[in-house]
Chains A and B, each alone.
Chain A
Amino acid sequence: MTPTRDDGVLGALRRDRVARAGLGAIAALVAVALAAPLLALDQPIVLATPDGISFPFFPALVNRLLFENAIDLLFNLALLAAPLYAVAWRLARRRGLRPAHVALALAAFHGAVFAACLPARVAGRPNPLHVEAPIPDARAEIAVREARGERVLAVFPLRPFSYRATDPARSVRPPDRTHWLGTDKEGRDVFARMVYGTRISLAVGVVAVSLYVAIGVVLGALAGWFGGRVDLVISRAIEVMICLPTFFLILALVALVQERSIFHVMAIIGVTSWTGVARLVRAEFLRQRDLDYVQAAVALGVSTRRILFVHMLPNALGPVLVSATFGVASAILVESSLAFLGLGDVSVASWGETLNAGRLEGKAWLVLVPGFAIFFVVSAFNLVGEGLRDALDPKLRS
């Protein structure tokens, strides 16, 4: 059973040019995030030497020394498995399976593979899926071989740089033909950092917002449905949370965490920002509680949990969806702000961090590029959010 809004909403969204532009921009960002290793990685896709042909690119994608972060691993697995998923999707659709079921199955499979790759050791033994092979410096090796007069053919990704490899000799270079967007203080390629930063931004936005939407929906639904004392407690909790300035609360919590990772940042944004969704859902459930179709469901003997989440939640989802879309934009902004203030995860390529480096060095390209990237992604989500809000408003839709 797939709860869907009536087709008019999607139609209205499609007719809205601004929202369509926003959707296009988000699709482009997702494509960049997915294809990041094809855009920038220091491992050749094909390496042909007199010793033979090798493809260092592919094992590198799951190498945890090269891609330490779980977000990168998740996206890399998606990139590797994308052709497989496309074929599976086609086959499943041809056999008449429901799209939602197929998507769910593929996502579950992906999650399982991802989870299986994560631990370095399983039951005390090394995990065979957890690759930590030492990575050769491909460019140095090629240079050595060419110096020896060997014929070497190497096909690199678009830019042959990793977002993590530092090079003190190339510190703070302006954009040129090698480093399209220059380098930062540590000599890391800014183009690569921008590309991989897309992954961080999208992941932070989606994960943090999913977390707080889940919290907000459950609390709001309970408060709205049960009312009375449950509502009293949840509503007071919401009011207390609203009184605290969220960004400073996040700052304080982030500062408390030692060995910060990007997941701490996601979790902290998630647990501090649920009040808006909780209030929306509470109001929607209060309104719906006495509506006839809810009564009718009760009269048919449907369980409370099913009434809450199958019958009422889809009717409350419109405003939540709008708020979540805006929420993604603001979560991305918060993460960038934290990284800008030096409170982010230093191991990931965050746009905010590059922005801060640019501010410290006083170099225009280090400020403008990440600044524009943040502006672009935040605007895209806001445009889609506004389009969605208009599309869901029946008064504007007529």
Chain B
Amino acid sequence: MLEVQDLRVAFHGRREVVRAVDGVSFALDAGETVALVGESGCGKSATALALLRLLPAPTGRIESGRVALDGEDLVTAADARLRALRGSAISMVFQEPMTSLNPVLPIGDQVAEAIALHQGLDDDAAFAAAVAMLARVGIPSPAARAEAYPHQLSGGMRQRVMIAMALACRPRVLVADEPTTALDVTVQAQILALLADLQRELGMAVLLITHDLGVVAQIARRVLVMYAGRVVEEGGVEDVFARPRHPYTAGLLRSVPRSDRPGAPLAPIEGAVPDPRERPPGCAFHPRCALAEPRCRLEVPALAPPAVDGVASGAQRAACFVTEARPELDLLGAHS
């Protein structure tokens, strides 16, 4: 469905160049939810924006790589073709429902716009379709609410409208950039349930970008862990959470309370995410890694090939010399 190969994104400032995404590859199958997790500044949002070529011009640029949607490369697609695909084949839900809706347009018009644009309906038909979509995302009395302006809705309602906008044309791929971060916990659960529902109904692939491991556990099947612009670990959610193969993943897991390991002490990862302008040589995580070996300072570990042949999408793999050499190591137990 969606195949990302060796994606590299850089932000060109006046003096320096920030390499936000440094060779990311992954694939999304129809109907599956993949979570992309990592700390702030690890490049996960830049990856998401790059998929739809939404990087802020002129500073943000895709340096190289391929984003193939059913074999069609979005990186090199003509602008008109890209516009036709955005919103109809690949859509995005943003983090801030409070600011992602245009304050001066009624929400029905905003949802109808995408429908009129991609499905060639006239204004009235598109508006009717928009009302139906608003009903589908659980907005009460949708016909009346369609005339409302964004400021008249709560945050959760607005995020539902955003989802209605993004999914109105039944895209094959949805990129959701922290869709629940700005919402109350109770509303978060509703929105996640709604997303999961719609995904089943439309059979689309969802790339969920988040830093919330609880959300990952709740709705994703596979997880990609990003650190300093690279994917450091990939695998099925249960495998990765139970037995991380990268020290960074382990650090992330140890820094959140877990109901399945009651009493385990919380251990924040020491240090800070490296400045993307001056990434350390070798494995970018080595300055913060208790297991770092001399080799980690010199060479960049590659994401290991899938351990189990044939089941590439479900297999767990990590970019770490240490666990590659000592597969028996239990990273979650090592420091407790």
Interface residues of A (CB under 8 A from B): 1, 3-6, 227-228, 290-293, 295-303, 310-311, 314-315
Contacts A303-B83, A314-B104 aside, 11 further interface pairs with beta carbons under 8 A come to A1-B105, A6-B104, A296-B101, A299-B54, A299-B166, A300-B117, A301-B84, A301-B87, A302-B87, A302-B117, A310-B105
Task: Determine the chain A residues whose CB is within 8 A of the CB of B6 once the complex forms.
Answer: none
A295 CB to nearest B CB, Å: 6
Bound-complex Cα distance A303 to B86 (A): 11
Query: When the two chains form their complex, are residues B86 and A301 in contact, meaning their CB atoms are under 8 A apart?
Result: yes
- CA A228 – CA B166 in complex, angstroms? 31
- The 7 A-B residue pairs with the shortest CB-CB distance, nearest first, are A301-B86, A300-B87, A301-B87, A292-B100, A292-B99, A314-B104, A299-B92
- Alpha-carbon gap, A5 to B151, bound state (A): 12
Chain B interface residue count, CB cutoff 8 Å, equals 34
Q: Are A300 and B104 in contact (CB under 8 A)?
A: no
Chain B residues with CB below 8 A from A3, complex form: 104-105
Bound-state CA distance A301–B119 (Å) is 12
Question: Contacts of B88 on A, CB cut-off 8 Å?
Answer: 301
Find out whether the CB atom of B103 lies under 8 angstroms from the CB atom of A228: no
CA distance A154 to B92 in the complex (A): 74
Q: Nearest Cβ distance between residue B61 and chain A, in whole angstroms?
A: 14
Residues of B within 8 A of A (CB): 52, 54, 56, 58, 82-88, 91-92, 94-96, 99-105, 109, 113-114, 117-118, 123, 149, 151, 162, 165-166
Chain B residues lying within 8 Å of A292, measured Cβ to Cβ, are: 94-96, 99-100
**Cβ contacts under 8 Å, B113 to chain A:** 297, 300, 302
Contact flag A296-B105 (CB < 8 Å), given A301-B84, A302-B117, A303-B83 = no
A291 to B123, CA, bound (A): 26
Q: Complex formed: what's the CA distance from A4 to B151 in Å? A: 13
Q: For the complex, give the distance between the alpha carbons of A291 and B150 in Å.
A: 15
B103, chain A: closest CB distance, angstroms: 7
Bound Cα distance from A295 to B332, whole angstroms: 40
CB distance from A281 to the nearest CB of B (A): 15
In the complex, are the beta carbons of A296 and B151 less than 8 A apart?
no
Q: Quick one: given A1-B123, A292-B94, A303-B83, are A298 and B103 in contact (CB under 8 Å)?
A: no
Looking across the interface, which residue of chain B has its beta carbon closest to that of A314? B104
In the bound complex, do residue A290 and residue B86 qualify as a contact, i.e. CB atoms below 8 Å apart? no
List 24 A–B pairs whose Cβ atoms lie within 8 Å, in order of A's numbering.
A3-B104, A3-B105, A292-B94, A292-B100, A293-B99, A293-B100, A293-B102, A293-B103, A295-B54, A296-B162, A299-B52, A299-B91, A300-B86, A300-B87, A300-B113, A300-B117, A301-B85, A302-B83, A302-B114, A302-B117, A303-B83, A314-B104, A314-B105, A315-B104
A4 to B88, CA, bound (A): 28
Pick the residue among B52, B96, B105, B162 that contacts A311 (CB under 8 A): B105
Q: Can you name the residue of chain A whose Cβ is closest to the Cβ of B79?
A: A304
Inter-subunit contact A315/B117 (CB<8 Å): no
